[in-house]
Amino acid sequence: MNAPRDKRMTVDEVVAELADGMTVGIGGWGPRRKPMALVRAILRSELTDLTVVSWGGADVGLLARAGRIRRLVYAFVSLDSIPLEPNFQRARQAGTIPEVVELDEGMFQTGLRAAAQRLPFLPTRAGLGSDVMVNNPWLRTVTSPYDDGEELVAVPALHLDIALVHLNRADRHGNATYLGPDPYFDDLFCMAADRAFVSCEQVVDTAGLTIDTPVQRLLLNRMMVDGVVETPNGAHFTTCTPDYERDEAFQKAYAAAASGSDEAWDAFHARFLEGDEAAYQTAVRAFGEES
C-alpha cells in the first residue's frame, strides 16, 4: 500500500497553480484566520480577472485595490473593529469591481453546501422578502413538491476552481486542524473546490494533530487538500487564535492608509507589500517595535 503523498509547497508554488479568470474561494471570516500569506502572493503575481468568493476582510480589500477582481461574491467585507473594509469601500464607491453579487450570509453558506455536494442548487428560506432578491434578479425560487407547497429560494452552487484556507496545524499530507473557537466553514470551501490549498502556522507529524486537541477539530482530511504551506504568522493581520490575535495597531495603520491619499497608500504598499513574504514579516516586526 502506498504511503500518503507529501503535499508540502511554498506560497509561490500555490499561486503558480492559479490562472487568470479562475474562481477563487478564500476561507476565514472577515478579519479572522484569513490565508493572508497566499493573498499577498497573489498580489505579487500577475493574476487578474479573478472571481473571488469570500466572507470578506482584507483579502477582498487588497485584491480589489490592486484591480485583480472581475467578479466578487460576498456576504460582507468587514474588519470587525472597523466595520467596513476601507479598500473594498473605495472600490465599491468608485465602481472598479465590474460585477458584484451580495448574498445573505445564509444564502452564501447554502451555495457553498450545494457545490460541496455537487448539486446545482439547494433551497433555503434565507433571502425571501428581502432586497437580495431585488438586487439579484437572476435568483430563482422553487416550489416544494410536497404537500406544503412552500416557495423557497433556489441558491445556485458556488463552485470554486480553487480554495485557499488557513488553519493552525497541518501534516504534510493535508490533514489540518483548527485550535481556535470556530471552523469558519473552511471545510465547505475545500469541498466546494476542484482543488484546495491550506496554509498553516506549523506542519506537524500526523499524530501531533490530535495531541491535547479534540478530534472534532480535525477539520480537513487529506482527501480534501491538494497542497500544504507552512507559513508562520501567515494569517497576519487577522486572527489565528490561539497562536495570535488580530494585530489591531497594524490594522489601524492599514485602514488609515487605505482611507487616505494615493500617496499614503503607495507608502504603505512600498513598506509592506512590495517584497516577498519574508520581507513582509520583517517589516511587520519592525512596525511592532515602533508601536
> pLDDT digits over 258-288, tens only?
999 999 999 999 999 999 999 999 999 999 9
Question: C-alpha grid cell for residue 235?
Answer: 494569517
Q: What percent of the chain has pLDDT over 90?
A: 95
Give the C-alpha separation, 8 to 47, whole Å: 22
Is the pLDDT confidence value at 214 over 80? Answer: no
The answer to whether residue 133 is domain-embedded is no
Give the C-alpha separation, 34 to 156, whole Å: 25
| CB environment 242-258: b (16+ within 10 A), e (fewer) | ebeebbeebbebbbebb
Predicted confidence (pLDDT) per residue in 25-76, tens digit: 999 999 999 999 999 999 999 999 999 999 999 999 999 999 999 999 999 9
Give the C-alpha separation, 105 to 157, whole Å: 14
Is the pLDDT confidence value at 211 over 90? Answer: no
Is the pLDDT confidence value at 1 over 60? Answer: no
Least confident of 141-150, 207-216, 242-251: 207-216
- Average model confidence (pLDDT) for the chain? 96
Give the C-alpha separation, 132 to 139, whole Å: 9
Cα–Cα nearest to 272, from 237, 240, 241, 239 = 237
Confidence at residue 208, expressed as pLDDT on a 0 to 100 scale: 87
CA distances from 174 to 80, 169, 187 (A): 30, 10, 12
Query: Domain containing 115: what range?
Result: 11-120+157-246
CATH code, domain carrying 167? 3.40.1080.10
Confidence at residue 221, expressed as pLDDT on a 0 to 100 scale: 96
Confidence at residue 215, expressed as pLDDT on a 0 to 100 scale: 66
Predicted confidence (pLDDT) per residue in 80-139, tens digit: 999 999 999 999 999 999 999 999 999 999 999 999 999 999 999 999 999 999 999 999
The answer to whether residue 66 is domain-embedded is yes
Confidence at residue 147, expressed as pLDDT on a 0 to 100 scale: 97
The answer to whether residue 110 is domain-embedded is yes
The answer to whether residue 277 is domain-embedded is no
The answer to whether residue 70 is domain-embedded is yes
Is the pLDDT confidence value at 216 over 80? Answer: no
Confidence at residue 210, expressed as pLDDT on a 0 to 100 scale: 81
Q: Compute the Cα dihedral for 168, 200, 270, 266 and give only its sign.
A: negative
The answer to whether residue 254 is domain-embedded is no
The answer to whether residue 36 is domain-embedded is yes
Contact 182, 211 (CB under 8 A): no
- What's the number of domains the chain is made of? 1
Q: How far is CA 58 from the centre of its chain?
A: 9
Query: pLDDT band at residue 244, thresholds of 50, 70 and 90?
Result: very high
The answer to whether residue 152 is domain-embedded is no
| CB neighbourhood size of 272 (10 A) | 21
